[in-house]
């Protein structure tokens, strides 16, 4: 019980710090950061679009590693495997949330700047594929009625993770409508130093929020697993009483 109280306090403090960081980052993005010369104010979508896009390529790796642990532990240590499975489903949902935001903000920005909502270039298409893969992962987990659902989902997760480096490298491998990387994309890449605080705080704020969601969703999944274990235990006890 003492541990539960400590975890809840840490969680609450983390949540409050995260909200404060995001509010501050949003103020920097909308009020303090200078207006971009070519695109004007609509460029401020960048401060939400790029950090969430970066994070939508990080959470699939959490899902990938957790799925590998699940596959490794599922026979040798089923209780630990359940823990890995809880991390896997939590990270898959957070991936879908962040990649949905990436696609949505990208479309809103693209319509205002390019004049089109969507184009089938390599970056946009590979990102849509990533979103579809993790939506199908969640649908598999929700709809499959076999006893092997978690194993099938873990295998799908391993294949889904292959798309992540393709999304990242797509703007370097192919000529795309999507602009070249903002950072590390050659001598002309990068942003004006006056834009860096707004960008950095948004990366920090949304990363902290992602960690909060991941841990909160993981805790929920563990709760559900405990409820299911209890129901299964009661069912076994009930059938044994009938047999006697």
Partner 1 sequence: MRLSWLFGSSMEAHHLLAAYVAVWLIQGGYAGWIAWQWMRAGKELQPNLSLNTEADEDM
**Binding residues vs partner 1 (CB under 8 A):** 3-4, 7, 26, 30-31, 40-42, 44-45, 48-49, 52, 93, 97, 100-101, 104-105, 108-109, 111-112, 209, 212-213, 216-217, 219-220, 222-224, 226-227, 229-230, 233-234
- What is the rounded distance in angstroms from the CA atom of residue 40 to the CA atom of residue 76? 58
Complex with partner 1: residue 103 or 122, whichever CB lies closer: 103
Tally of helices (H runs) and strands (E runs) in the chain: 8, 0
- What is the rounded distance in angstroms from the CA atom of residue 186 to the CA atom of residue 17? 35
Complex with partner 1: residue 51 or 163, whichever CB lies closer: 51
Complex with partner 1: residue 17 or 158, whichever CB lies closer: 17
Complex with partner 1: residue 66 or 102, whichever CB lies closer: 102
Beta carbons of 77 and 188 less than 8 angstroms apart:
no
Complex with partner 1: residue 1 or 240, whichever CB lies closer: 1
Minimum distance between the CB of residue 44 and partner 1, rounded to whole angstroms?
6
Q: For residue 171, how many other CB atoms are within 10 A of its CB?
A: 19
Minimum distance between the CB of residue 76 and partner 1, rounded to whole angstroms?
17
List C-alpha distances in Å: 227 to 81, 84, 124, 224: 17, 17, 41, 5
Query: What is the 8-class DSSP label of residue 30?
Result: I
- What is the rounded distance in angstroms from the CA atom of residue 89 to the CA atom of residue 10? 23
Minimum distance between the CB of residue 193 and partner 1, rounded to whole angstroms?
22
Minimum distance between the CB of residue 217 and partner 1, rounded to whole angstroms?
5
Complex with partner 1: residue 76 or 175, whichever CB lies closer: 76
Minimum distance between the CB of residue 186 and partner 1, rounded to whole angstroms?
27
Of 186, 179, 199, the closest CA to residue 38 belongs to 179
Beta carbons of 147 and 80 less than 8 angstroms apart:
no
Minimum distance between the CB of residue 206 and partner 1, rounded to whole angstroms?
8
């Amino acid at each position: 019980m003492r541990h539960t109280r400590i975890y809840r306090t840490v969680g609450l403090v983390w949540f409050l710090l995260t909200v404060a960081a995001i509010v501050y980052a949003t103020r920097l993005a909308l009020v303090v950061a200078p207006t971009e010369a070519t695109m004007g104010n609509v460029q401020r979508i960048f401060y939400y679009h790029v950090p969430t896009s970066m994070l939508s390529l990080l959470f699939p790796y959490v899902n990938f590693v957790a799925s590998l642990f699940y596959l490794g532990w599922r026979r040798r240590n089923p209780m630990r495997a359940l823990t890995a499975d809880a991390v896997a489903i939590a990270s898959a949902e957070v991936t879908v949330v962040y990649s949905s935001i990436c696609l949505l903000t990208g479309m809103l920005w693209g319509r205002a700047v390019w004049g089109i909502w969507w184009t089938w270039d390599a970056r946009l298409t590979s990102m849509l594929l990533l979103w579809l893969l993790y939506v199908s992962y969640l649908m598999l987990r929700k709809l499959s009625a076999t006893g092997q659902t978690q194993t099938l989902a873990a295998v799908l997760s391993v294949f889904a993770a292959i798309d992540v480096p393709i999304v990242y490298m797509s703007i370097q491998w192919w000529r795309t409508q999507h602009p070249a990387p903002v950072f590390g994309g050659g001598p002309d890449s990068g942003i004006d130093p006056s834009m860096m605080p707004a960008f950095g705080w948004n990366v920090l704020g949304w990363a902290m929020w992602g960690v909060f969601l991941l841990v909160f969703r993981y805790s929920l999944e563990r709760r559900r697993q405990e409820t299911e274990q209890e129901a299964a235990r009661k069912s076994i006890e009930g059938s044994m009483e009938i047999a006697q």
